[in-house]
Homo-oligomer: A and B are copies of this chain.
Amino acid sequence: MSTTPSRVEQPVLESRVLRNNRLSDPHIRAVTVYLPPGYDDSPPRRYPALYLLSSHGSTGPSLLNWRPWHVTIQGQLDALIAAGSMGPLIVVMPDMWTRFGGSQYINSEGMGRYEDYLIEEIIPFVDRTFRTLPDRDRRGVVGRSSGGFGAITQAMHHPDVFGAFACHSGDLYWEYTCLPPLSRMHQELEQYGGLDAFIRDIPTIRPKGSTFWDLVMTVCWSAAFGGNPEVPRGFDLPIDSNTGALSEAVWARWLVHDPIRKLDSALYAEALRQMKLAFIDVGQYDEYQLQVGARVLHRKLDVLGIPHVYEEYPDGHRDTHYRYAESFPLLYEALQ
């Protein structure tokens, strides 16, 4: 008996929590869902679900993009299942895009209630639309880069929702991840005519070179970590607008979001202790020095006695989607 092939569905969900978000980003969005081989066979069967969070500058649907010399995410999942590396599962690729290149997967005054969107709207929608096993023990979260930050953060916030996570080359340890680009933020803003002009021009700046990406990342972090309902744009800059120096008060609010520091809270440590799988990896030559944060996290988890899988690879930050072949099977197994 042959099995029906995998397929991708993109049903549309109208969000209540994203309505009237400050950046006027859409509140009606597709939810991209991979349904595994056999999903359409009878008798009906339910599957564990993995929430795959994209990195800054991309979004759920973009994970389907054709990329040169790469299998697509659908092909990669099909191959892992066909090879018996893991059983069939549903993979959800939510669209958390904003004008600033992403939402960081948290609620923020500056961008919108994206964490609520994920937890309160997308997950229930998926669970009622597709044949998931709607249980935290059968639901995992995974991502790369900013998506890896999203995965560990959501696991810390919602151990009742997620039973396992994988953080690939995640944004960790703000001193090295955020501070170097912050040192350049003032000069880069000047280059683009100031914050208001930059925000206005983001969609049309051409070409979008390395300076653009550097700056849009720091603006995104600013909106995510420096929220302030009192100011028109909903967030404070982490730098003094005259000198460009660090604004210590705002920076302190950023640090609260660093997963390294969050682990000092018993609540969040306890959340990770409840995970059936905590998977962390990084490339030892990461161009953003994320290997430092990964190592610090690894040691802190050891000190706290929190079981986890930790891997380093002899490569960098880019072109590392291949590592899903390591984490997906472990997640699948943990979610049994």
Q: Please, which residues of chain B bring their CB within 8 A of the CB of A296?
A: 243, 245
Chain A 275-294, CB-CB to B under 8 Å as 1, else 0, gives 00000000011000101110
B295 touches A245 (CB 8 A): yes
Among B66, B243, B246, which residue has its beta carbon within 8 angstroms of that of A295? B243
Query: How far, in whole Å, are A296 and B246 apart by their CA atoms in the complex?
Result: 10
Asked whether, in the complex, the Cβ of A242 is within 8 Å of the Cβ of B295, the reply is yes
Judge whether B66 and A289 touch: CB under 8 Å: no
Which of A113-121, A135-143, A314-322 touches B?
A314-322
Complex Cα distance, B23 from A142, in Å, reads 36
In the bound complex, CA of A68 to CA of B213 (Å): 11
Q: Shortest Cβ distance from A225 into chain B, in angstroms? A: 17
Note all chain B residues with C-beta closer than 8 A to A173: 245
A78 CA to B316 CA, complexed, in Å: 39
Query: Contact at A206–B62, with CB atoms within 8 Å?
Result: no
Q: Which residues of B contact A295 (CB under 8 A)?
A: 242-245
Of the listed stretches A42-50, A178-186, A192-200, chain B binds A178-186
In the complex, the chain B residue whose C-beta lies closest to that of A316 is B207
The complex places the Cα of A207 from the Cα of B203 at a distance, in Å, of: 27
| Interface residues of chain A: helix, strand, loop or mixed (majority) | loop
Interface residues of A in 48-88 (CB under 8 A from B): 57-59, 61-62, 64-69
- Which B residues touch A315, using CB under 8 A? 206-207
What are the residues of chain B within 8 A of A101 when measuring CB–CB? 68
Assuming A285-B187, A319-B207, is B291 touching A244 (CB within 8 A)?
yes
| B68–A289 touching, CB < 8 Å | no
- A299 near B: Cβ within 8 Å? yes
Q: Which residues of B contact A306 (CB under 8 A)?
A: none
Q: Looking at the assembled complex, report how far the CB atom of A12 sits from the nearest CB atom of chain B, in whole angstroms.
A: 13
Asked if B183 and A292 make an inter-chain contact with CB atoms under 8 angstroms apart, the answer reads: yes
Given A68-B208, A176-B245, A244-B291, output 19 extra A-B contacts at Cβ < 8 Å: A57-B68, A58-B68, A61-B66, A62-B65, A65-B66, A69-B208, A175-B246, A176-B246, A183-B289, A186-B292, A190-B284, A206-B319, A206-B320, A207-B315, A207-B316, A207-B318, A242-B295, A244-B289, A244-B295
Interface residues of A (CB under 8 A from B): 57-59, 61-62, 64-69, 101, 173, 175-176, 179-180, 183-184, 186-187, 190, 202-203, 206-208, 242-246, 284-285, 289, 291-293, 295-296, 299, 315-316, 318-320, 322
Could you list some 30 contacts between A and B, CB below 8 A? Answer: A58-B66, A62-B66, A62-B67, A64-B66, A65-B65, A65-B66, A68-B101, A68-B208, A69-B202, A69-B208, A173-B245, A175-B179, A175-B245, A176-B183, A176-B245, A179-B179, A179-B180, A180-B180, A183-B292, A187-B285, A187-B291, A190-B284, A206-B320, A206-B322, A207-B318, A242-B295, A243-B296, A244-B291, A244-B295, A245-B295
